[in-house]
Amino acid sequence: MTDVRLVPMTEDQYQPWRTEDEAHFTQSLTASGQSPQEAADNAADTYKDLLPQGFATPDNHFWYAFDGTRRVGFLWIKVTRGTAFIYNIAVEPDVRRRGYGRAIMLAAEDWCRDNGVTRIGLHVFAHNTGARALYEQLGFVETGRRMAKDL
């Protein structure tokens, strides 16, 4: 089984990570049917709303995941009243399909348990079938569904 170590992100690492993460979110919004400009605008607004104080926004936790000395991914969680919400988890493209997504999720569960968190939520895009399958294997259940229709 693949194992990872979560290392808290530093403030210096935050801005390059955020720039890359916001760009990835823009791509996901585009894949979900938004125009590229609409997706970019929505992503920028979302990050401004979720992280108004950037790295110092209360209750948000950012980590890089490592396998030995190799960075294999990252994790962003916000904790509110005993519930964690995973805003983003990602595995580096060149090491995908090797169990790191599962390992990062299990490390996140361990961190949550150690910090008194009793529930974890997340959002997954419908087009991300691999992530959806992983979350279901880990015991996540669907609690809602957002639908859209292009006109």
Chain segment 122-138, per-residue pLDDT in tens: 988 777 888 888 889 99
Q: Pick the range with the lowest mean pLDDT from 39-43, 78-82, 131-135.
A: 131-135
Model confidence at 1, pLDDT cuts 50, 70, 90, reads low
- The answer to whether residue 119 scores a pLDDT higher than 90 is yes
Statement: the pTM of the whole predicted model exceeds 0.85? yes
Residue 39 main-chain phi, psi, to 5 deg: -65, -45
In tens, the pLDDT along 84-95 reads 999 999 999 999
Rounded CA-CA distance 80/78 in Å is 7
- The answer to whether residue 10 scores a pLDDT higher than 80 is yes
Rounded CA-CA distance 34/28 in Å is 9
